[in-house]
Amino acid sequence: MPTPASHPQHIVEPDRRRQNRKVPTVLELQLIETLSDLECLGRQLAGESVLAIDTEADSLHHYFPKVCLIQVSTNEHTFVIDPLAVQTMGVLRPLLGSQKIKKVFHGADYDLRSLFRDFSIKVENLFDTMVASQFIGERELSLAVVLNKRFGILISKKYQRADWSKRPLSPEMLLYAAHDTAHLIRLYRELERELRFKGRLSWVEEECERLSVECTLGGNSESTPYLASGQKHGRSLSHLIPSEAPPVKSPLFRRFKGYGKMEARDLAILEELLLFRERRAMHEDRPPFRLFAKHVIRELVRIKPTDRKALRKVPGLPADFMKRYAEGVLKAIRLGVEVPANRLPSFPKRRLPSPDSEKRARLKRLKGWRQQKARELELEPGVLCNNALLEALADAHPKDPDELRAVPRMRNWQRKTFGHEIVDVLQGI
């Protein structure tokens, strides 16, 4: 394969990592940092039938996450694209949207959403090796575990929590990123053979098609706001005042573990604290948990400090808390305390209607069938049919396999393969 203008980087793994490795100690990758190189690469990749894709993002370090690297591997070459340098990924849109090229990901969900959010890239003809591994019957699904089990390949986890928006990236970080796709096509071919042998390839293809569609539903309304305004990738939002920041969806406390056990007044204080933290996190372009953690919020709600002296006694405060957040936190607590009694939040747990005895019996039979069938197929029960589908089946109570088409969450592969069995189970046969 011809290569873009810039020279490939030969990155050598340190000697200490060579022990018990069944992979080459030298991985050739090419870093793409210019539009001309990306355009050249696009022309080369257009002739491929299979591409392995992965991304690295900075969601652990920024409020507004962004794709910081895109890794692409063919059978023989690995390319690492730097979207922070190139800034426009339009070249990749027709490639990843082509039905003629198989795109292999491992755990594609976040990657697909990120590519669509940042670059309006829709991925078609997807094969997710994590999904495929589930349908083979694998229990451990991380790429590191799968590659080690199948090929004896060991992948470092050193940079899982790295800030990929920082530049320059070290050769070791580039190597880490490249290894995420370097072996994916080999894995794809092996999994495809096994799925075909087991008669489950169409199951995985349907799941992957659904995943591809679901990850682009709803448009890119959650796109990073400053991408649209021309402030490309990674600019600080410290110049924004809160009123200019994107709106925060309320109530936030409903996403806080344990809120259902709190009194109404505590919920009001909790909401104000969460709202303050969210706005400041947005303002600083940092994930909320990096300002102060949930256990700190829990203590703030419990203690309800009213001044800086009392605030200092709250356990678990970060070192910079008093300087950066004390005034805002005290104000948030005061606002929560001052909420009028008739406006206090109240979200009692919604009582679901108890299922009738016949539905309970149908659901019990379905779960028994699922357990037995999953054991026969050596699959996790939830892979075969998840609980939401069993509930929907028990509610719908179809009398004929054709009626299964109208059941929410019912896949075609489930209906075609197990439709008659499911109907018989529902009828008590």
Q: Which architecture characterizes domain 9-226 according to CATH? A: 2-Layer Sandwich (3.30)
User: How far is residue 79's CA from residue 8's CA, in Å, rounded to a whole number?
Assistant: 9
Every domain of the chain with CATH number 3.30.420.10 lies at 9-226
Say what the pTM is: 0.85
- Reported as a single tens digit per residue, the pLDDT across 44-82 is 999 999 999 999 999 999 999 999 999 999 999 999 999
DSSP code, position 49: S
Contact 62, 165 (CB under 8 A): yes
Would the pLDDT of 27 be above 80? no
DSSP code, position 248: P
H or E element that contains 95: helix 92-96
Would the pLDDT of 134 be above 80? yes
Give the pLDDT score at 240: 37
Q: Which CATH number fits domain 236-343: 1.10.150.80, 3.40.190.10, 3.40.1280.10, 3.20.20.70?
A: 1.10.150.80
- Reported as a single tens digit per residue, the pLDDT across 329-367 is 999 999 999 999 999 987 665 666 666 899 999 999 999
User: How far is residue 393's CA from residue 387's CA, in Å, rounded to a whole number?
Assistant: 10
- Reported as a single tens digit per residue, the pLDDT across 208-224 is 999 999 998 854 433 33
Unique residue bearing structure tokens 């004896």: 152
Q: How many other CB atoms are there within 10 angstroms of residue 258's CB atom?
A: 10
Cis peptide before 251 (omega within 30 of 0): yes
Q: What percentage of the chain carries pLDDT values higher than 70?
A: 85
User: How far is residue 160's CA from residue 71's CA, in Å, rounded to a whole number?
Assistant: 15
- Between 347 and 184, residue with greater pLDDT: 184
If you average pLDDT over every residue of the chain, what do you get?
88
Q: Which CATH number fits domain 357-426: 1.10.150.80, 3.20.20.70, 3.40.30.10, 1.10.3720.10?
A: 1.10.150.80
Give the pLDDT score at 243: 41
Every domain of the chain with CATH number 1.10.150.80 lies at 236-343, 357-426
Q: What percentage of the chain carries pLDDT values higher than 90?
A: 79
Would the pLDDT of 421 be above 80? yes
What value does the mean pLDDT take over residues 119-134? 98
